[in-house]
Structure 1
């Protein structure tokens, strides 16, 4: 069954691609939110066959940073409809990220008509809803089976609440530290702030759907993703190894999946 389902990994640097491939990933996605698109790096990305993953926010000043990653005839994962339109105009092989919400077959059909070749499904979907969408075969779909989902993106730096801010986000001494938002349930939600002062809030524990991989492949999910940007590289490598076993039909436990597989990430 593993032959019909591609194993993917999302990494934060080119250097992290090698251990992901060694653990079994055959398609590597590179989060480029904080990476400058130099000509040398763009050449490396093409040569290594990495798929750039663009920001979910794209204002006018962001185009200089994001547009360079979009290449004709090459895959790119876009985070909003304007990036999808631009990628299609350039003849890139556009995939939509899970932050473009796909909750029904009509949406799948629309983004396919807009030019998307592939859609990554939202972690808000339950396992049942995911399987139902995948089985329609309207558009090829993928699922992140291991990683911390993004709960919120804030266009203003959340760290300003705790520290003085001089608006020089790229050189902020606090941005590299570990920070959390504590919610009403006393859950410590990790916060990451990028070089433009945009903060992203993540679930406090990884969603682990690896144990459902065989079921997902059976209903037509064509790519399964392990996220090494919101977990450690060793954790992601371990998840990939378990994913191989799950697709081979072995019983693999997924300790964090039970409730989320029923409800999705709310």
Structure 2
């Protein structure tokens, strides 16, 4: 039996790995257990570049939030938000406008407990523990309804989320359930693991199988499949692209490897 750290409440299962806590480990965080680190290290042995992929995904989140702020968005619903670490959505948003509103949603108890602890004295931001696949529950929660104004545009963030929603769980329907109640001018921001057909190497395939068997089923999607999840939304510039190509901060951030990066990003606007 693993030793329980002081910040882990008694209802947290230390033996069952979690997507949020594995992501935290990849980012160098401390809110993870031995079971999380064991799975993470097995995937790293299969795919050594995975830690860099995670860091690139985190950098994308920061760029996307800043871009949305530049478009006038001041409300964010961060689904599958994970364990808070440097560069949280509310930190980025509040530097531009302290009145910006943020709701973090995750099913992981550690992620939500830690989120609530750092948001105690932060206005206009809160954390909700819920299964993001239950859109109605999330959207009707007290946390969401008391924080976000549905008469104004909202940005829904699904960063590194939809590849954990298999086709059998109807990701198209899930996206629509979140966007349908929002006013025109709202946005959907997505990052998604994936390759074009035939690109996935043996190591990446082993890493995906490890995740699927031990943590959560993982579904890679190609560029066209990801575009399809946006439904009637207008996919804005630069379209569905490999993550490093999505509004890079500097041309130096895009190297030859970017063309083979194992994941895509896109931002869609509700008409």
- Normalising to structure 2: TM-score of the pair? 0.35
**Higher strand share goes to which structure?**
1
- Normalising to structure 1: TM-score of the pair? 0.36
